[in-house]
A and B are shown apart, each in its own frame.
With several copies, the nearest count.
Chain A
Amino acid sequence: MKIHILYFARLRETLGTAKETLEIPAPATLALLLDTLRGRGGMWAEALAVGRNFRLARNQDLCPADTVLADGDEVAIFPPVTGG
């Protein structure tokens, strides 16, 4: 299935990517998607390492890593927010 991924702020800069579309086998959770990204090594493994402080959203809602993904989902990965 196709997952659209967005990166924001410091994470976007660290990874050098603002967005991409990834084809991953269904079924899959956000945790599995993160594993796939970490598999790229380098900054990907480091910035997305387990225990690093980042947030996840699925279809524009904050959600935990065990959230199940569906084809066409928009996933966003970003640092803790600092607006206001």
Chain B
Amino acid sequence: MTIKIAVQAAPFDLGAEIAALHRDTPAVGAVASFLGTVRNEAGTVSEMCLEHYPGMTEKALAEIVQNAQTRWALHSVTVIHRIGPLAPCDPIVMVAVASAHRDAAFAACAFIMDFLKTQAPFWKQETTADGAHWVDAKDSDTGACARWAAPDL
């Protein structure tokens, strides 16, 4: 399996990353991907800043991808997470999983996102008119991981 993990301030090219997972790769029939962006439904967020724990982020992401690999037959996985200051609508994270069939690709992509949300050491700080404040963790994210604990999936 080919694994690419990157933690970077720079934007990523989701289309190019997905293309790299299937181009000239006849064993791949399915690529499931996820893009997370800076949401700003209320229109109050002027900036979102991502702090992380250098070294542990890459390690945590690699472990999550390896755990996915033991559960599903995957051909390749790319995970890119941005850090530093971002604007509303900016891409934050992408996960793309290539497999022979769609069920493995979809499941592994959702699995990686669920664990990234609860185990990878990133923290969001939003800036609004009131100043900067740290985003609280969501119980629903912890709950999302629990569903993968079932012995038969």
Contact = CB atoms under 8 A, between A and B. Distances in A.
Decide if A and B touch, CB cutoff 8 A.
yes
A82 B122 contact: yes
Contacts of B22: none
Given A9-B125, A60-B55, A60-B56, A81 B118 contact: yes
Nearest to B133: A10
Given A8-B51, A9-B51, A83-B81, A57 B116 contact: no
Contacts of B53: 6, 8, 57, 60, 76, 78
A8 B53 CA distance: 7
A41 to B, nearest CB: 24
A66 interface: no
* From A53, A79, A80, A82, residue with most partner B Cβ within 10 Å: A82
Nearest to B124: A82
Interface in B23-44: 36
A78 B121 contact: yes
A81 B55 contact: no
B23 to A, nearest CB: 20
B19 interface: no
B123 interface: yes
Interface string A15-26: 000000000000
B69 interface: no
A81 B122 contact: yes
Contacts of B122: 81-84
A62 interface: yes
B120 interface: yes
Contacts of B134: 9-10, 79, 82
Interface of A: 6, 8-10, 53, 57, 60-62, 76, 78-84
Interface of B: 36, 50-53, 55-56, 59-60, 81, 92-93, 102, 113, 116-125, 134-138
